[in-house]
Amino acid sequence: MGVLVISRLIAFLPISPLLACAKPNKLLCTGDHDYCPIFGPPNRCGAIETLSVTFRRLRYHRLMQDSAVATPFVPSRRALFLAFLQIGVSAFGGALPWGRRILVEDREWLDEREFAEIVTVCQAIPGPNMVNMAVFVGTRYHGILGALIAFVGIVGVPLIMLLLLNSVYHAFAHLPQVQSGMHGMAAVATAYMLYMSIKMGGPFWKRPWGLILCAASAALAIFAHWHMALVLLTCGAAGVVLSKRGDL
């Protein structure tokens, strides 16, 4: 009976390391060898005990590998709130560029492709793009509660600042200095949006069909005065076809 148990244990172990450390005509390490790649340094435990320890080690490493592969990264609720709070506080001149920097570059919660896809979805529905993205990302990680946390994080502080500055702006908006400052800030915001567009379109600039699709979308919006929803519907359908063909 003992021989049968040992033979079944041997069947589950890699044979070559055992043969490398065993004496001639012996398959099991019994503790009288110099060094064994499976069992480690010399020891005085018997073959059955050594096999049992090895089984436990192999099972532990296998469970650790499986858990590492199966467990996706999920930020905490506190980290989710602080990330979108940082976006809301930093978003002078537009929130999307800062959202990309914080979510893609700094925290690495999204990659370039995921961010572009989420922006596309957010542009297809009513509402500010970055607020829609906050709800989208919050729901992805923590459900409805995460959406509320991200929404409060990105809207709370700017709302308070806007209420405080509203009366001040209306009191001094007629001054030439204030008007010049607002025009200058608008120019900087436009440049920053252009920078973000170039960064987001990075994967498409190397492919001719990507350039053609971007140019067609811009032409329909600027010269044909198409509504953004219609541009997204038309050019988005063309993008789906090109992507299935492998041209994007």
Show which of 67, 100, 124 is a domain's final residue. Answer: 67
% of residues, the chain, pLDDT over 70: 69
Q: Please report whether residue 9 resides in a domain.
A: yes
The answer to the question of residue 72 being in a domain is no
Mean pLDDT of 51-75: 61
In a shared domain, residues 164 and 105: yes
Structural domains counted in the chain: 3
Write down the residue that tokens 């001639």 correspond to: 24
CA distance 134 to 84: 7
Highest mean pLDDT among 47-51, 69-73, 222-226, 240-244: 222-226
User: From CA 164, how far away is CA 157, in angstroms rounded?
Assistant: 11
> Average pLDDT, stretch 22-33?
44
Q: Which two tokens stand for residue 66?
A: 């499986």
Average pLDDT, the chain: 75
- Report which residue type is found at 123: Q
* Residue 210: per-residue pLDDT: 81
pLDDT tens-place string over residues 136-155: 999 999 999 999 999 999 99
Q: Which amino acid is at 102?
A: I
> What is the arithmetic mean of pLDDT over 219-226?
89
Residues 69-117: tens digit of each pLDDT: 456 788 999 999 999 999 988 877 678 888 888 999 899 999 888 888 8
- pLDDT-derived band at 50, boundaries 50, 70, 90: low
> What local confidence, expressed as pLDDT, does residue 203 receive?
67
Maximum separation of any 2 CA atoms in the chain, in Å: 99
Residue 175 lies in a domain: no
φ/ψ (deg, to 5) at 40: 90, -150
pTM confidence score: 0.55
Same domain, 57 and 6: yes
Structural domain harbouring 149? 77-170
What pLDDT is recorded for position 13? Answer: 46
Specify if 193 maps to a domain. Answer: yes
